[in-house]
Amino acid sequence: MRLPYLLMDIDGVLIPFPSPDRTAPATHDRHDVLPTGRNPDQPVTVWLNPAHGTMLLDLIRTGIVAPVWCTSWRQDAATMIGPLLGLPPLPHVDLPHPQITTSHPNGYLWKRDYVDSWLGDAPVAWIDDDFTSLDHTWAAERTANGLTTLLVQPDPHVGLLLEHLTQITAWAARLRSARAGAADTPHGAEAA
């Protein structure tokens, strides 16, 4: 039985956007990183909460989801951001570098078309701060068609909270139970 994917964004999820007064949360530590292709004289400052690494590791260790980065950080998520949080190397969705001026060029998150194709018929919990109502409609339609889909949308100025991962854990456990129940039902028998 295939595990549901856990797709994880970084900006607005693990790296919160600055507050109006331009301060970072006290829970986050400053790191200067050098993304692929960036001029060595121009590192990027990111703020990460070390507790996020522990929280994500706890979820990953349950074995109920298959974690995958889904971020414009692409492979740098696994080589830079993940290690700063103490996470093991994780795969990433190979997103393109679109020439866009908004995250929603078609009214929905630009990543969605690529993710939809990449997922195929796999169930997914996707954490991103930038979904629109069209993304939620897509998730509901996918679920209605038997492709269970959960979108989790943190506040981009706060980022990931334990309650988000608790929601995903409960969702994945229900999905596992439903699949186990379906596997136990004899072929041709009607479920009660």
CA pair distance 99, 122, nearest whole angstrom: 28
Contact partners, residue 157, CB within 8 Å, separation at least 6: 16, 17, 18, 19
Residue 68: band (very low, low, confident or very high) from pLDDT cuts 50, 70, 90: very high
Which of 88, 106, 14, 26 is closest to 114 using CA atoms?
Answer: 106
CA pair distance 36, 102, nearest whole angstrom: 22
Q: What percent of the chain has pLDDT over 90?
A: 79
CA pair distance 64, 175, nearest whole angstrom: 9
CA pair distance 132, 55, nearest whole angstrom: 26
pLDDT in the model for residue 191: 44
- Which whole-number Å values give the CA distances from 84 to 24, 29, 87, in the listed order? 17, 10, 8
Element spanning 30, H or E = strand 29-33
**Tens-digit pLDDT profile for residues 73-96:** 999 999 999 999 999 999 999 998
Q: What is the pTM (predicted TM-score) of this model?
A: 0.90
**Tens-digit pLDDT profile for residues 131-171:** 999 999 999 999 999 999 999 999 999 999 999 999 999 99
- Which whole-number Å values give the CA distances from 176 to 64, 66, 146, in the listed order? 8, 13, 14
